Amino acid sequence: MKIKVNKKIFASVLILMVGVLSCKNVKEVTENQRRLNEKEAQEVLFSKDSIPFWFFYSKVGIDFKDANRSNTFNATVKMRVDSAFSGTLSVAAFIGGTYLINQDSVYFTDKGDKCFVIENFSALSDMFGTTIEYSFFQSLILGLPVGLDYSIKYKYKSTREYYILSSFKKKDLRKIEHDKDEVVEDENIFVQYYLNTETYHIDRISIQVPSDTVEIDINYINRQAYENFYFPEQTQIKIVHPRDSIFISLDYGNIKLNERKEIDINIPESYVKCP
């Protein structure tokens, strides 16, 4: 039987996934950086998509606001790259829930109501108002260029502060539920990446999905270095679609790289399905 997911529970689960990491504040490059031409700027953008570690752990403070509510809480994130991540959600010292997300499913427990949620990963698309994949969240968590496509030649524009690389890309082919043999191709997605002209870091990503009337704006604030990898000190996400407007702010704590931790979730036998 398909579980009907409480919107408030899924909001809490999804918020948690969006962020991670940081440590000591270090500036990567000197000022007066050499200007990049179109080819060089695209090469720099593509270089930002690599992940030189396989596991990380972090704590993150989360502020969440939508049309109906505003919440502040803390989360832990344990991630095995390209596989899954899990952790806890807490207010002050009280752990209110646990979660696990992999490429197929979402699991969540509510310790207060003693209930659980198990859903397909696709259910998380509801918050964003458009279809999203596991790789979207992983890139967002790590401060990477979300939705990067190596087969696309990106349009180049240079301003004083940013190299702006933008392109239309096709949305993934999705199956029509009533006919598994039929596919429909949706309209384009417009994506813009803002590379800082001094640091060469990605400061902002703007995503527009005209077919779903969705706008997603991601800002990575103040990169910090940890083991030669630069994570955002803060991530700000704004999601606007016809059903809601959502604002998420993530403040990252200390991280640990390549120290294995269990990616799991315990659902007590006494718990029931969340309404």
Q: What is the CATH number of the domain that holds 145?
A: 2.50.20.10
241 part of a folded domain: yes
State the 10-residue block means of pLDDT for the chain, 275 residues long. Answer: 40 42 38 81 95 91 91 94 94 89 95 95 81 88 90 92 86 36 58 96 94 92 90 94 91 89 94 95
The Cα-based distances of 249 to 65, 151, 166, 233, 236 in angstroms read 9, 32, 25, 11, 5
260 part of a folded domain: yes
Neighbouring residues of 105: CB distance < 8 A, sequence distance ≥ 6: 118, 119, 120, 121
- Specify whether the CB–CB gap between 62 and 247 falls below 8 A: no
141 part of a folded domain: yes
| Domain of residue 94, residue span | 7-27+34-266
- Residues 213 and 190: their CA atoms lie apart, in Å, by 12
Task: Output b/e per residue, 212-243; b: 16+ Cβ within 10 A.
Answer: bebbbbbbbbebbebeebbbbbbbbbebbbee
Neighbouring residues of 186: CB distance < 8 A, sequence distance ≥ 6: 170, 171, 174, 211
In 3-state terms, what secondary structure has residue 14?
Answer: helix
Strand partners, 204: 194, 219
138 part of a folded domain: yes
Task: Please write the tens of the pLDDT for every residue from 108-145.
Answer: 999 999 999 999 988 888 778 778 889 988 898 899 99
Sign of the torsion angle spanned by Cα atoms 3, 109, 139, 33: positive
Q: pLDDT value at position 30? A: 43
Residue 128 corresponds to which tokens in the numbers above? 């964003």
Q: Is the pTM of this model over 0.75?
A: yes
Residue 197 corresponds to which tokens in the numbers above? 């002209």
Neighbouring residues of 208: CB distance < 8 A, sequence distance ≥ 6: 189, 190, 191, 214, 215, 216
272 part of a folded domain: no
DSSP letters for 95-144: EEEEEEEESSEEEEEETTTTEEEEEEGGGGHHHHTS---HHHHHHHHHT-
Task: Please count the structural domains in the chain.
Answer: 1
CB atoms within 10 A of CB 123: 18
Q: pLDDT value at position 33? A: 67
274 part of a folded domain: no
In 3-state terms, what secondary structure has residue 230?
Answer: strand
217-221-226 Cα angle (round to 5): 125
Residue type, 223: R
Interstrand relation of 155-158 and 162-170 (parallel, antiparallel or unpaired) = antiparallel
Residue 221 corresponds to which tokens in the numbers above? 């604030």
2 part of a folded domain: no
- Specify whether the CB–CB gap between 194 and 164 falls below 8 A: yes
